[in-house]
Amino acid sequence: MTPLASMSGRPVVDVRRFLVDVRLVAGRDLWIEARSRVVVAQVVPFALLVLVLFGFALNADQRTLDTFAPGLFWVAVLFSALLAVHRSATLEQSDGTLDALRMSGLAPLALFLGKAAAVFVQLLALEAVLVGGLLVFYGVEVDDPALLIVAGVLAGATVASAGTLYGALASGLGVRETLLPILVLPVLAPVLIGATRAFDDALGSAAVDGWAWTGLLAIAALVLTVVGASAHGALVED
């Protein structure tokens, strides 16, 4: 084998192993969640209850419900995401699995992306259920399904990346349950505003350019993913 061939072959092997590691980490978190059913038994009912309670509290006409539906949707997603992120951050803390993963030679980047991917999948499932909740409880109509899907995916990726990063930061502190919302909310506030405005357009609640707001979501997702991938290794090694 020539040096050129060996140089060209080695990165392929490394990338393949890296992707396998990411898939294994994400699969492990999702497998644990599937067995414990915390999201199904706690997070999803909580999120739906938020929508129902706000709907009864408003006691308003259809126009008012259409106006508030996007914001209430993302409030429910945010608080539910905090529960999912907190669980993801503490999965390896109780039984020492995190130390075993570090000693196994697993790349910190693979650990971050795997855990973020697991949270992301859970958030997408939660968003799908909550969109159904909006259709049933609030009677909203989707004017732009493509915009709804793109905004949901980008916002979900941003929340997953930020939550995984700050979850790793808070997991090393004795008061992580208290600090996690305080750390995450200021970072995610612009993201939730952008997602709400995009949903306003997708649901026909307001005359805004929702696709322009998806640009903000894409930038936020990229920045937080890069920052999280760069800082996560140092956080978990402390």
Query: Which pLDDT tens digit goes with each residue over 192-220?
Result: 899 999 999 998 877 788 899 999 999 99
Report, as an integer, the average pLDDT of 45-57.
83
Contact call for residues 195 and 76 (beta carbons, < 8 A): no
| Percent share of the chain, pLDDT over 90 | 23
Burial class (CB in 10 A: 0-12, 13-18, 19+), 31: exposed
Report, as an integer, the average pLDDT of 67-94.
79
Counted domains in the chain: 1
Q: Would you state the structure tokens that stand for residue 218, as one six-digit string?
A: 């894409």
Cα(81)–Cα(51) distance, integer angstroms: 15
Model confidence band, residue 94 (pLDDT cutoffs 50, 70, 90): low
Report, as an integer, the average pLDDT of 97-122.
80
**Domain encompassing residue 219:** 3-237
Report, as an integer, the average pLDDT of 151-167.
89
pTM: 0.84
Model confidence band, residue 6 (pLDDT cutoffs 50, 70, 90): very low
